[in-house]
Structure 1
Amino acid sequence: MVIDLDKCTGCQACTTACAMENNRLPGENWQDVLFYTEGTYPSAQLKWFPRPCFHCEDPSCVHVCPTKATYKDPNGGFVLIDWNKCIGCKYCMIACPYGVRFYTDEKPVVGGPTGGPGPDIREVFPGDGKRSWNPPWRAPDARDDWVHGVGIQPKGVVSKCTFCYHKVSKAPPGTPDLDEDDPALKEYVPACVRTCPPKARYFGDLDNPESRVSKLIADKRGVRLKDETGNKPQVYYLSGGAGPAVPSTRETVKKT
């Protein structure tokens, strides 16, 4: 995934689209937009930073998982969670340097209209014995895929962004880029990419030097967040060349 920070307006359409596509609890944002201020008053400026799961090439969350519930998908490079194996120990949450994992049974992230604690939507729409909660707008049962962390999870497990595995994994093999403007491909595009109004997000095959994502990373000096951790995140940011740059030739942008 490539995110152009010069185009991103902080509108949070990605957050909303992801929540609806993946039936997330309020406040459990797999596609988050972080807001912060830069500078001091009176010249301080409001800034924002979109933050999905980074689906790292060498993810620390995989290394620490005692049950191998968190794993790398061998076919597409996704980092996924098998809810059938997850024991909710939270080691992966501690190991992740990006803070993009969630534990379902924590207290509600979002409070009530008066600033209080409730209501807890899990109590409003309680689980059906299988799912941790059961909203009437949830996706069809056929969408559930616990081996890949897709659907509404059971109790006592960790959840995270899957890059919309249930969509992307069905794309035609060898497709270099998933573009919502291509009618033949739009159903395979991750929800956050498809919904982005300023088209600040791109999704494609980093192993293909002719893909749009590879060319953007090379031509616009894509950078990776916290690259010093050694996780090798597969989300690149375009920021006008600011910050530490990854190799700028297309040959060396390919994964090794």
Structure 2
Amino acid sequence: MAKWGMVIDLDKCTGCQACTTACAMENNRLPGENWQDVLFYHEGTYPNVKLQWFPRPCMHCENPSCVSVCPTGATYKMKDGGYVLIDWNKCIGCKACMVACPYGVRFYTDEKAVVQPDLRTVFPGKNGRQWDPPYKGPHDDPTHGVGIQPHGVVSKCTFCYHKTSTAPKGVADLDEDDPATKEHTPACVRVCPPKARYFGDLDNPQSKVNKLIADKRGVRLLDHTGNKPQVYYLSGGAGAAVPSSRAHERTT
């Protein structure tokens, strides 16, 4: 069984937010509710202030704190693929997982719209859905938190479960440039202009993600929490930089 993971090269990332846009379109996200955030913040003191940026998907942790606090078992970790997903049929919207997640990558959309006008009033939902967007992503799969979500539940990045879970068995990497895996590659990886994102099997020693982590000393965000993210960052000092433990809170 594969254990999918992502590598983001911060030396290549330009903060263009193509990943944010592609994810929103692929997963029917409301404006401002970004499963693929690119956070902007400042480091240093005047006059030596530097603008930094930091891409932040769900980490799909090996030891996810969100799973242990869920009272209904709605948040769970899959053995095959290593995904951390939400079963919307079980979620009661208590937000315990949102509090437990140290990365701030979960969303509860039954609140005031992040961006106005509220498109839920422009494209009202049907059959208990949040909204009915003019574009349609994957078919609804509520047991895996895929599709247009219903009211009263939490949502998050799924590593494009509807695409990656159907990849050919045994492949080491899911790559936009490989015709055999192109349609199974996560949307954020496919559209990245500087090719800063990679997606592959962390349990396969031949995968490119494993080689990048080893060769460029990949690091995990807030690793001291014990969550053991399956998202690794590469940085040699240029471009964006791995932020301090609280930098993900200092957005502009």
TM-score normalised to the size of structure 1? 0.89
In structure 2, what is the Cα distance between the partners aligned to 1:27 and 1:131? 18
- Counterpart of 2:165 (choices 147, 164, 169) is 169
Q: Given the alignment, which residue of 41, 47, 64 partners 1:42?
A: 47
Tell me by how many angstroms 1:86 deviates: 0.3
Q: Which runs of 4+ in 1 moved over 6 A?
A: none
Name the aligned partner's letter for residue 93 of structure 1. M
For 2:119, the equivalent position in structure 1 comes to: 121
Deviation at 1:172, TM superposition (A): 0.3
Q: Does 1:215 align with 2:220?
A: no
Shift of 1:135: 1.5
- Measured against aligned partners, the alpha-carbon deviations of 1:160-179 in whole angstroms (never above 9, x if no partner) come to 00000000000001110011
Name stretches of at least 5 consecutive residues in structure 2 with no aligned partner: 1-5, 243-252
Structure 2 residue aligned with 1:240, among 220, 236, 240?
236
1:14 alignment partner in structure 2:
19
Paired position in structure 2 for 1:139: 137
| 2:120 partner SS | helix
Q: Write the mapping of 1:1-256 to structure 2, written as runs, cut at 5 A.
A: 1-111=6-116, 119-139=117-137, 143-240=139-236
TM-score, normalising length from structure 2? 0.91
CA RMSD of aligned residues (A): 1.4
Q: Distance in 2 between matches of 1:24 and 1:64?
A: 25
Structure 1 stretches of 5 or more lacking a match?
Answer: 112-118, 244-256
Distance 1:188 1:130 in 2: 29
1:136 Cα deviation (Å)?
2.3
- The 2-side partners of 1:127 and 1:184 are apart by 36
Identity %: 80
Q: In structure 2, how many angstroms separate the alpha carbons of the residues matched to 1:110 and 1:46?
A: 24
Would you say how many aligned residue pairs link Structure 1 and Structure 2?
235
